[in-house]
Chains A and B, each alone.
Chain A
Amino acid sequence: MQLLDKLTILADAAKYDVSCASSGAPTRSSKGKAGLGSTNGAGICHSFTPDGRCIALLKILLTNFCLYDCQYCINRRSSDVPRTRFSPAEVVQLTLDFYKRNYISGLFLSSGIIRSVDYTMEQLVRVARLLREEHLFRGYIHLKTIPDAAPELIAEAGRYADRLSVNIELPTERSLVQLAPEKRVVSIRQAMQQIHHGEQQAQQERRAPRFAPAGQSTQMIIGADATDDSTILHNAQTLYRSYRLRRVYYSAFSPIPHSPKTVPFAAPPLLREHRLYQADFLMRGYGFQARELLGGPGNLALDIDPKLAWALAHREQFPLDLNRAEQQQIARVPGIGMLSARRLVALRRERRIRLADLLHLRCVLDKARPFIITADYRPSQAEQESASLRQQLRDSPAQLALW
């Protein structure tokens, strides 16, 4: 089969993994040296596809032959798709060629499971080894890690890759048993644990080999099973805490051709995925706990963002005086981000905060107004019922249509 044909198939097969991050790698340069590639910590999006997603890496599978039968996956063994396989040399050639042309900043390589788990992992590692050692490639490499692979292989992967990821796949063990019968939660978590351990060692011991300096991430498929957002967020929180993951990616289940009956025929609303990302961001960056965002079972609201939902449910904490409150509290006000909160605190050392300052900092004033007090402003809506406030502040259908 022609290289172009293989690429068409194996890029199509890989696109369900949504991560495209190319940031977080240490500074590397090829200036005046043999080899190719540099990283400086920041990621670059080299293009965007018509779904609005960034292309930073060449994201492909080594092969889409697969012995497993994960029901949500287009590559499952019972799926009727054209199959093919790259040789490691072909992947190397494509990566270097695309890199020189400045199409990409690196490679994100994954694979279907062929022969055995170890064999598959060994193939992935081999590509990374070729790139790093024979071609002195200093660009970004993200390797998918196959659970149950031998620890030596994972250790070697960590030496070559900037990022490793093991997909948790589904939000609950029950769904995993049902929809991915060959996969097991314990093996997934063991692999995460080993990567976490490798990262810690590399950080603590100066002489330890470099290990996945851009950390590990995972992906959870949303809407292939009936799990609610509350379970999803609590699960994500546990993952962040247990393995110091850099990111949990949420991937709205994409309907696939010849879908088996075990998975839905329609995709969940993309807005649901968006709200989960917003909630995830609040947990990572704002110190929110999963239980604050969703106390009981259920899903995040679709018509308002999770921070506004939280604030409307905690009116007793508002209005907040921006000239007195702690930075952390200010960052919890709807429409005011972490950066603006920091700037407001810096500004009020010079003088009292006024409402216009929020405008200059580009806060979302409409959302913030009912929840704040400034030197020249007190909300008249302070007494207004949360329900009617919500009516007023919900995202307009036009905004929602974006999703």
Chain B
Amino acid sequence: MRTLYVDGTFAGWREVARQALLQGLAPHQLHWQDADSCPGLFDHGQAALPASTGHLRVPAQLLQQLECAARYRGEARWSLLYRVLWRVVHGQRSAALAGDPDGSELQRRIKAVRREAHHLHAFVRFQPAPAVSEVDLLAWFEPRHDILAWASRHFSERLGQQRWLIATPADGVHWDGQRLHHHRHCPRQWQVWATQPDSEGQALWQAYYSSTFNPARVNPRALKQHLPSRLWRHLPESTLIPQLINQARHGAQHHSQAPVLLRRPGKRIAPPDSKD
């Protein structure tokens, strides 16, 4: 059994995997170790395989799939990729397909990664940044997988010349208006800024959320189905949910108007012809 070290990036793994493949090292002969899990290893320079020259042909689509699946945080991250790669290169194309045990795990990971990217796009919440931060907007997010660098490009399309950053417990990204900078270890200061409460700015949104909800149609099960509670911690509106459900279920009201408007004085309008 031979131990190979990966610097935690797909590019790093790809280089090591290429060497291993060229030397004909079969998956069962290898043990993959993430540098992050044993810091300092790289300093001793013991990871390198003797360099081989040569070329390998790998379908471009497979490479994309491997890169996507590499963002999945989970057991056997690199060994699964290597097994699939090895098998495909040795003629077993089904190794990347859903019918195959390795293939279905690969596809499952790809799906989970895409889903998490979608969660970032939908549920990240930016807030105005303090002046010293030299960005306009910042956000805190806790992604399940290593999607940040890749999935946050969406926001450079969306936010134009706004400068922004997203802090997470692990990594962080910063868009300076021109380029995206990815930090594998999120600066502590970003984490502090991004977790500052912003209650004033959120008040309008919370008012909107409460009002656009139709209490006559309350349906907590449908809510949970679409918005699993693990995502609630990102959403300033989620603190309102229990109260809104409670009011809708147990209130005396059976119609759709937002309860806060109930006892507000109203205004009837005269029919148009009666005016003149």
Contacts and interface: CB of A to CB of B under 8 A. Distances in A.
Contacts of A51: 213-215, 217-219, 222-223
Contacts of B215: 51
Given A38-B157, A101-B201, A257-B257, A7 B269 contact: no
Given A9-B261, A69-B271, A102-B126, A15 B248 contact: no
A328 B185 CA distance: 53
Contact of B266 (A33, A45, A80, A252): A80
Contacts, number: 197
Interface string B224-249: 01110000000101000100110010
Contacts of A35: 160
A9 B236 CA distance: 20
Interface string A34-62: 11111010001111111111110011000
Contacts of A201: none
Nearest to B158: A38
A116 to B, nearest CB: 10
Contact of B256 (A46, A83, A256): A256
Given A11-B211, A31-B156, A55-B212, A3 B226 contact: no
B3 interface: no
A8 interface: yes
B265 A82 contact: yes
Contact of A29 (B137, B157, B254): B157
Interface in B94-140: 99, 118, 121-127, 137, 139
A397 interface: no
Interface residues of B, number: 69
A52 B226 contact: yes
Contacts of A100: 126, 137, 159, 162
Interface of A, secondary structure class, is loop
Nearest to B237: A47
Interface stretch (B43-51, B68-76, B79-87, B202-210): B202-210
B255 interface: yes
B156 A50 contact: no
B123 A46 contact: yes
Interface in A9-23: 9, 11-12, 14-16
Interface residues of A, number: 66
A77 interface: yes
B125 A80 contact: no
Given A8-B211, A8-B261, A15-B214, A50 B241 contact: yes
B2 interface: no
Nearest to B139: A102
B267 interface: yes
Contact of A74 (B118, B123, B254, B256): B256
Contact of A94 (B203, B204, B209, B261): B204
B192 interface: no
A106 B211 CA distance: 18
Contacts of A48: 222-223, 226-227
Nearest to A99: B158
Contacts of A32: 156, 160-161, 177-178
B250 interface: no
Given A36-B160, A402-B219, A66 B269 contact: yes
Nearest to A256: B255
Contact of B157 (A16, A31, A47): A31
B254 A255 contact: yes
Contacts of B270: 77
A45 B257 contact: no
A79 B158 contact: no
Contacts of B217: 51-53, 252, 254, 270
A29 B159 CA distance: 9
Contact of B204 (A31, A97, A259): A97
Nearest to B227: A48
B42 to A, nearest CB: 35
A181 B207 CA distance: 33
Given A12-B257, A69-B271, A50 B266 contact: no
Interface in A288-333: none
Interface in B179-215: 201, 203-205, 207-215
A132 to B, nearest CB: 14
Interface in A73-100: 74, 77-83, 94, 97-98, 100
A67 interface: yes
A80 B268 contact: yes
B272 interface: yes
B260 interface: yes
B257 A52 contact: no
B264 interface: yes
A252 B177 CA distance: 46
A79 B122 contact: no
A30 interface: yes
Contacts of A83: 266-267, 269
A4 B207 CA distance: 7
A254 B256 contact: yes
A75 to B, nearest CB: 10
A208 interface: no
Contacts of A82: 261, 264-267
6 contacts: A8-B208, A45-B122, A51-B223, A98-B205, A101-B205, A255-B255
Given A31-B160, A55-B212, 18 more contacts: A4-B207, A8-B207, A8-B261, A11-B207, A12-B212, A30-B161, A36-B159, A47-B122, A51-B215, A55-B209, A69-B271, A77-B271, A79-B266, A80-B267, A98-B208, A100-B162, A101-B127, A360-B99
Interface of A: 3-4, 7-9, 11-12, 14-16, 29-38, 40, 44-55, 58-59, 65-67, 69, 74, 77-83, 94, 97-98, 100-103, 136, 252, 254-257, 259, 266-267, 270, 360, 402
